[in-house]
Chain A
Amino acid sequence: MLELVAALPDTSFLSRIQFAFTISYHIMFPTITIGLSLYIAFMEGMWLRTKNTVYLQQVKFWMKPFAITFGMGVVSGVVLSYEFGTNFSKFSEIVGPVLAPLLAYEVLTAFFLEAGFLGIMLFGWNRVSSKVHFFATCTVALGTVCSSFWILAANSWMHTPAGYEIIDGQFQVTSWLEVIFNPSFPYRLAHMLLASFLSASLFIAGIHAYYLLKKQHNEFSKIGFSSAMTAILILAPVQIFVGDLHGLNVADNQPVKLAAMEGIWQTQKGAALRLFAWPDEETESNKFEIAIPKMASLIVTHEWDGEIAGLDQVSAEDRPPVPVVFFAFRIMLGLGGLMLILGISGLIARKAGCLYRFKPLLALSVIMIPAGVIATLAGWYVVEVGRQPWLVQGLVRTADVISPLPAQQVAFTLVLFVAVYGTLFFTYLHFMRKLVLKGPPTIESLIDTFQPLNKLSESRSKQPETLNDEGQDLPPTLNPAQVDMGYTQEFSNYFKTDKKGAE
């Protein structure tokens, strides 16, 4: 036992691992829910506009995966709001005057908003009118976006601090506008929101593709698959463009991080783009390098012979762990490329009229269900590990601001977090699988339980069944006999690109 205690890594390492673990775990869920909430709001809006039940079917199906994913995000997020204080007490003390107000605004404008309207969104179907319900759904979506705004402002400030002065060792704000709209913030916000939309689109596309492969819920899945593939086709190239801008911003503000991303040890002109390499920190060189000459300079400086500062611009103790940054960056880029390929293949299949039948495409979509989340995580590793050894770039070293806790205590909670989060993750996957296997509610059941639009508010206490016993009460598009036809027309009008595929 004593040996075990003696063998423990130090508190600094344990606290950093614990924070990395808990925040990585957390970010997976919002990454999906930010995009998914918008998808649900979009489908609910379509339902209200067209009064076509197929859109309601999308809403009702996706609400369940959304709810459990959102729940996971909430429970893992509360931990983080306290972890700054528990594990990084000195950081909280000196940087608190800058970061704490941003977090406060996140709570005020996002957390309360999401929580307050989530109940109505999930459980309020029989209690509020469909318009109020739609409002609640949109508000939840808005809340998720507001949340990203504030937390990314706070995070970006740690990369590109601005609008501050240091008085008696404590950061104080001179301009809130400069703090919030610090140099890397717009790029990071756009990059992360797009990452979230892409992740949700891949998630949605993959599950619908699974149904199409299994030949289940065909009509339902065509809508979802087509919408998500359209989204991927648009989002993937935009994301690559925004990512490039973000990269240029990194080159300007955090050249050491950029050097680690590109695996460039010595400052050089006309630097090659390393496609693959094994960065070796001891010899300060790359092994097994495969590179395209001059390409990195072209991308970063937009000149063939542009100079890129290497890792040698700073001494070894001021460099991040190069291999982590280098490989995480390549994982992100590789997955981004795959997303682009998926989007384009979708377009080609659509033009060829086999979007819903082309099995390799469907299979690729299924495989790529987690691709967005993995790419997002990899991107965050590039960003955060790439900033090390700094916590606030160039100003505060991570190792200097750790809470002075006994290593055993942090080891104890770390083990507990890994055990609880691990178990919970499998539980989450189990329930997700269960929801997917169960499939969407049938159109008929939705028509049976859903009263004609906009009459809900007047009949809060009435039993839904009594209104819908007679089919005549239903507007034409809600009539089961006409739904299929109505849907096909509606759908192919809406996504004009695909008429053959909609069978």
Chain B
Amino acid sequence: MDIAVVYLLLIGFGLLVYVLLDGFSLGVGIVSPLLKDAHDKGIAMKSLSHLWDSNQTWLVFGGVVLFVGFPSVYAYVLSNLYIPITLMLIALIFRGVAFEFRFKANSSQKWWDLSFAFGSTVATFFQGVILGALVGDMSSTRTMEDAVEWLNPFSLFTGLALVSGYALLGACWLIRKTENELQAKVKKIAQRLLIVVLFFLATVSIWMLLEQPAIAARWLNWPVNLWLTPMPLLTAFFAYKLWPLLTSEKEPGLKPLAFAMSLFVTAFAGLVAGIYPYIIPGRLTIWEAIAPDKSVYFTLVGILVFIPVIIGYNAFNYWTFSGKTSMDDGY
């Protein structure tokens, strides 16, 4: 296969894994202010303390694979989106340190709960803004000399959309990790979030089709739409399966998280299908941007060798801490 396509798939893979995994970690932070008291918030945070770092590492992975595969894109996107990216990184600091300090704090505990919620929400919001800025700025008349306009109604809207999306993932994760009253409460939150997420998904999709003729052309074109049309249908199907899990009192285990993640995967696939083969939407294709062979093949070997190992020990990490979260696990 074409090495540029391989790298696009790798970045897509890294990004998707990041969105799914850190998505629920950040989502827990977003929904945590809705939880009742310090104990519940503590449980929510504790459910992540052993894996937030691994989940966040996928962001570094995605960034660095982009740097390897398409250095000019890494340079262009990061410097053009300077403010939202830097604010996202700073917000992630607030989120990250909260894990270390919260459980060693006495009087300042509520501040660390706040730091966790604030950091998670702001980081997610700016990730959504970055996504919206890149997709919304797509246009065949723009060149690499033009700056990306990142602050516009569409990007702010996708920012909010991503906050709701991650929050849904977070709530579904908490359903798995909590019990009794707390679980019932989280299910209620997830119900409302599902409605909000569907609203955002529909609105963003329609907005994109109206604003972006290039994407619209692809979606409405025969026979491409033959394999694109199942995406909205699949989205509807996953939402339809998720709803009863959230409304019944039975223990649903990991199922809600699985369906919520499936929702994300279809939305992600739809997005990628709309943009491909551009790497900076509308400006630069993957073949124009791919790095020299010597660099991409050298790194590819490492990725192919280590990613299965990484997935293996991450699975072991999840397995070790499977089950309901216990406040007894400490150090």
Contacts and interface: CB of A to CB of B under 8 A. Distances in A.
B205 interface: no
Interface stretch (B30-38, B224-232, B255-263, B306-314): B306-314
B283 interface: no
B57 A112 contact: yes
Contacts of B71: 92-93, 96-97, 100
B190 to A, nearest CB: 25
B60 interface: yes
Chain A contact residues: helix, strand, loop or mixed:
helix
A109 B101 contact: no
A404 B146 CA distance: 12
A363 interface: no
A172 interface: yes
A497 B96 CA distance: 44
Contact of B291 (A87, A96, A116, A427): A96
Contacts of B100: 67-68, 71-72, 431
Interface stretch (A77-85, A235-243, A244-252): A77-85
24 contacts: A71-B100, A72-B97, A82-B89, A86-B85, A92-B71, A93-B74, A96-B291, A97-B292, A98-B295, A100-B64, A108-B61, A108-B310, A112-B310, A116-B316, A119-B54, A119-B317, A120-B50, A123-B321, A172-B295, A176-B294, A404-B79, A409-B82, A413-B83, A420-B94
Interface in B285-331: 291-292, 294-295, 298-299, 302-303, 306-307, 310, 313-314, 316-317, 320-321, 328-331
A121 B76 CA distance: 39
Contacts of B6: none
A412 B90 CA distance: 13
A98 B330 CA distance: 42
B299 A78 contact: no
A286 B216 CA distance: 70
B253 interface: no
Contact of A104 (B54, B299, B316, B329): B299
B10 to A, nearest CB: 10
B56 interface: yes
Interface in A23-82: 60, 63-64, 67-68, 71-72, 74-76, 78-79, 81-82
Most buried by A among B101, B294, B307: B294
Given A89-B76, A113-B310, A403-B79, 4 more contacts: A96-B295, A100-B74, A117-B317, A172-B292
Contact of A96 (B61, B74, B89): B74
Interface residues of B, number: 60
Interface in A356-402: none
Contact of A108 (B72, B75, B303): B303
B90 A416 contact: yes
B68 A413 contact: no
Nearest to B101: A431
Chain B contact residues: helix, strand, loop or mixed:
helix
A116 B329 CA distance: 17
A74 B96 contact: yes
B111 to A, nearest CB: 10
B67 interface: yes
B299 A105 contact: yes
Interface string B38-66: 00000000000111011011011101110
B79 A86 contact: yes
Interface string B71-109: 110111111001101100110111011011100110000
Interface in B141-186: none
B317 A173 contact: no
B101 A67 contact: no
Contacts of A92: 67, 71, 74-75, 78
A172 to B, nearest CB: 5
B67 A116 contact: no
Contacts of A348: none
A128 B75 contact: no
B89 to A, nearest CB: 5
Contacts of A101: 68, 295, 298-299, 302
Given A64-B331, A84-B67, A420-B93, A176 B101 contact: no
B210 to A, nearest CB: 31
Contact of A127 (B75, B298, B320): B320
Contacts of A97: 71, 291-292, 294-295
A131 B316 CA distance: 15
Contact of B104 (A68, A105, A126, A170): A68
A71 B99 contact: yes
A452 interface: no
Interface string A285-301: 00000000000000000
Interface in A472-503: none
Contact of B101 (A111, A127, A427): A427
A76 B60 CA distance: 12
Closest 9 CB pairs of A and B: A96-B71, A119-B50, A85-B78, A71-B100, A89-B79, A89-B75, A403-B79, A75-B96, A115-B53
Contacts of A404: 79
Nearest to A96: B71
A112 to B, nearest CB: 5
A215 B107 CA distance: 29
A119 B321 contact: yes
A167 B299 CA distance: 20
Given A108-B307, A120-B50, A123-B331, A417 B67 contact: no
Nearest to A427: B101
Contacts of B68: 96, 100-101, 103-104
A434 interface: yes
Nearest to A86: B78
A344 interface: no
A122 interface: yes
Nearest to A108: B306
B54 A115 contact: yes
Given A71-B97, A86-B82, A173-B294, A417 B50 contact: no
Given A107-B60, A431-B101, A60 B331 contact: yes
